[in-house]
Amino acid sequence: MVDESIDIKAASEAAVAKFQLERVLNQDQGGRRTSMLGTVDGRPALLVVERAPFPTSEGYLGRLPGSLARLRNLGANDVYSWHMAQTGAADNDTPSTATGDDFYPDVKINLIYPCTETHVKKYSKQGARLVTETPALYRDKVRPYMEAKRAEGRLNWVYNIIEGRTEVEDVIYRTPLGRAGDEGFLLLPDLNWDRSTLDALHLLALVERRDLWSLRDLRRRHVPWLRHMRDAIVEATVATYPSIEADQLKLYVHYQPTYYHFHIHVVHVALEAGATQATGKAIGLDSIVETLEVMKGKGEEEAGMDGVSLTYTLGEASELWTQVFAPLKTARPASRPPGQGR
């Protein structure tokens, strides 16, 4: 039985090496898994290739950055830069910095240098908590927190992009700077997109106006503006990528967002939903518009998202958890998320 098992394994390994491609059937998981039809020894065969997780060995991971065969920079702004890289043995006839058409990257690399303790907390493994932010909590605790973060200069990289000082070559669409008023915006690739796999398309729409920090600032009077922005963003995306149709795009915003300048995420519907599109993080733009439209009452045009409770997830290392919601936990019944009242 042992010898038979070894023979089967050896035969299957040999069959993989003999695979002859006829056509690619599908790419999914953002291009990380590919299904191919072909033959092995003249008989039909289907081969599915999927990128494996990184090893956990610190020795391997420590050697990885210095052992890359080729590297191509995609962009840089402030302390952030992002790259595509090719692992494996380098070709002695080609430079380590990739510029040619024979560059086949298999690793996406983001560098934050120099990084801060806030960056370290964000990217460290941590538990998650579900919290409910009431209008009163937003007014008394979260809004002042947002204001403090904006005052620390954390939006400099955003303003650099909007004002055309950095990432000019990365902007795929923009209204004339300063001439579109409140309707001014620009589109650029999200730093997590490889800029080539259209099924994994992920763009950011940054608005020029600076009075909107997050979805909490949206009011019923903003509904026409939001509808116009949605149409303009979709139109610009489709014009830039003609193979994508309007009903293949999803638009959403994050709460809590990573930075407090209102922006809209644009993704292909085929992009597999990870944590950034999950309930408790992403809220569809159309859903926000519909919520605003049904708000009634005194001064209804000023009714807004600051008047509703929002439930979302937080990492245990985040300042909002440690400074705002964790201290509330001991003062509530265990069955309620922090911040949720009667």
Read off the DSSP letter of residue 248.
G
Burial class of 203 by CB neighbour count within 10 A (0 to 12, 13 to 18, 19+): buried
Q: Look at residue 295 and give its three-state secondary structure.
A: coil
Helix axes 223-240, 285-293, angle to 10 degrees: 160
C-alpha torsion angle, residues 308, 309, 315, 321 (rounded to 10): 100
Q: Buried (b) or exposed (e) across 226-241, using 16+ Cβ within 10 A?
A: beebbebbbebbeeeb
What lies within 8 Å, CB to CB, of 62 at 6+ separation is none
d(CA 302, CA 221): 7
> What is d(CA 169, CA 167) in angstroms, rounded to the nearest whole number?
5
Distances (CA, A) of 54 to 36, 279, 325: 23, 27, 34
Phi, psi of 35 (to 5 degrees): -110, 130
Active site residues: 263
